Amino acid sequence: MTTPIICFGQQPSGFFPKRFLVSKILTAHRLKDEIGGEIVFFYHDSDHDPRETRTVLRHRTTDEPAQLNFTFENKTQRKFSPLYLKRISDGWKEKTILQLPNYVGHPLIDLFKKTTASNVADFCLEMYGYMGLLEGMTVVRSSSPEFRNKARDITDFFVDVPYDNEIVRARFADNALKLHEGGNAYVDVPLVDFKKEQLSPTRDSRLLWMQSVINCTHYVAGAGERAYLKTEEAPEIEFVTRDDIDRSEEAYIDLS
C-alpha cells in the first residue's frame, strides 16, 4: 500500500494566520488520524500579492474588525516582488507591537516579539511555528530553487527577474515579461535569459507543478480552491474540502 501523503497549500496568510488556513491544518491532522501517513504544507511563498498577508483582528473592547499588514521597504517590492523577497520596513514590528494589545493577549504578543525574520514569508512561517501550527508536518516552499528544479516543466508561469533594483515576479507571455499594474495596465520588463529555478506557476498550472514533486495522495482544499482546481487533471489525488470554520477570513489567535 502507498503511504498516504496529505497535502494542503497556502500563501503566507497574515502574521497571525487566517482561520481558513488553520482549518486546512486541522482537517489534515484529522485525516491523518483516520488514515495515517504524513502531512505536507505546500507554502506558496512565490506569490506576490500583498493582500494575502492582511491580518484581520477584532478590537477586544468594541469587537470592531481592523486590517493590519506589513509595510515594505519600497513601492516596487510591495507591488511586484514575491512574498519571500518582500523585506519588512524598519520600525514596522515596533509600531505593530504597540497596536497589538488592542486586539490580542500578551502570550501571543510575546510570540510576535520573538519573531525576528526580515521578510514577509519567513516572518509568517516563523510565527506559525511559534504558535505550534507546524508540528507534525513537512513544510515545502514554492520559492525553493531545489523544488523548482525538480518540478515538471510548465508553459504558463511567472519569472523572478531584476527590475528597478529589486527582484520582481513578472508574467511570461508572448515571449515578453510584464508586471500587472491593475485593470488593463501593464509594465514591460526587459526580457532576459532565465533558468528553471526562477520560475513559479500561475494559478492554473500550480496543481500539477506541485504534484510533480510532492506526489500527494490527498489534498485538502478550501471552497475557493475547489472552484478553480481542475481535479480531473490529477485523478490520483483524493480531494478533501477543508472543515467549516466561522469568520474564515479573520486571524486565528487561539493558542489553546
Q: Note the helical H segments in the chain.
A: 19-35, 75-80, 92-99, 106-114, 120-130, 145-150, 206-214, 223-228
Model pLDDT, residue 208 = 96
The residues spanned by each domain of the chain are 5-241
Q: Which residues contact 203 (CB under 8 A, 6 or more apart)?
A: 228
Model pLDDT, residue 26 = 97
pLDDT averaged per 10 residues in sequence order, the chain, 256 residues: 92 97 98 98 97 97 97 96 98 98 97 97 98 98 98 96 97 94 90 96 94 98 88 95 96 92
- As a whole number of angstroms, the distance between CA 204 and CA 215 comes to 18
Taking the CA atoms of residue 196, residue 199, residue 200 and residue 202 in that order, the dihedral angle to the nearest 10 degrees is -110
**Buried (b) or exposed (e) across 183-207, using 16+ Cβ within 10 A?**
eeebbebeeeeeeeebbbbeeebbb
**Buried (b) or exposed (e) across 101-140, using 16+ Cβ within 10 A?**
eebbeeebeebbeebeeebbbbbbbbbbebbebbeebeeb
| Cell (9 digits) for 118 | 526580515
Cβ pair 222, 20 in contact under 8 A? yes
Q: In sequence order, what are the beta bridge partners of 39?
A: 6
Model pLDDT, residue 227 = 85
Q: Which residues contact 11 (CB under 8 A, 6 or more apart)?
A: 43, 44, 45, 47, 49, 52, 83
**Buried (b) or exposed (e) across 162-176, using 16+ Cβ within 10 A?**
ebeebbbbbbbeeee
Model pLDDT, residue 1 = 61
| Cell (9 digits) for 140 | 515545502
- As a whole number of angstroms, the distance between CA 36 and CA 101 comes to 40
| Cell (9 digits) for 104 | 490580542
